[in-house]
Amino acid sequence: MQVLAITGAIRYGGLDPLQEAVQVAKEPALILDLTGVPYMDSSAVGALVRVYVTCQKAGRKLGFVGMNARIANVLRLVGVDILFTTFDSVTQAEESLRS
């Protein structure tokens, strides 16, 4: 299980580190901790969908932690929120994704 803690706004021009980290991660489950992310733009939504697709193709589990209301609302408005499994804490995500 790998946890990637992301900090700062996720937006166009700053997506490469996220995408590279996901490509390098090879654990059977990936948790993206968005606690430190105050904002994301539409290109970040696309990046998160690509993370989802990458994990699905590799047979990896994916979970999100610390998604604030602003980010959750953006994902809901775009209609991709149903793709993402969210948890209240890293511990809860680890326990759920292990099973």
Report pLDDT for 29.
92
Rounded alpha-carbon distances, angstroms, from residue 31 to 53, 66, 88, 97? 14, 10, 12, 9
Q: Is 4 helix (H, G, I), strand (E, B) or coil?
A: strand
Range of the domain at 66: 2-98
CATH number, domain containing residue 85: 3.30.750.24
Residue 85, pLDDT above cutoff 90:
yes
Contacts of 60 (CB under 8 A, 6+ apart): 27, 28, 29, 30, 54
Please tell me the total count of domains within the chain. 1
Q: How far apart are CA 65 and CA 84, in angstroms?
A: 10
Task: Answer whether 0.75 is exceeded by the pTM.
Answer: yes
pLDDT, tens digit (0-9, with 9 covering 90-100), for 25-71 = 778 999 999 999 998 888 889 888 988 998 899 899 999 999 999 99
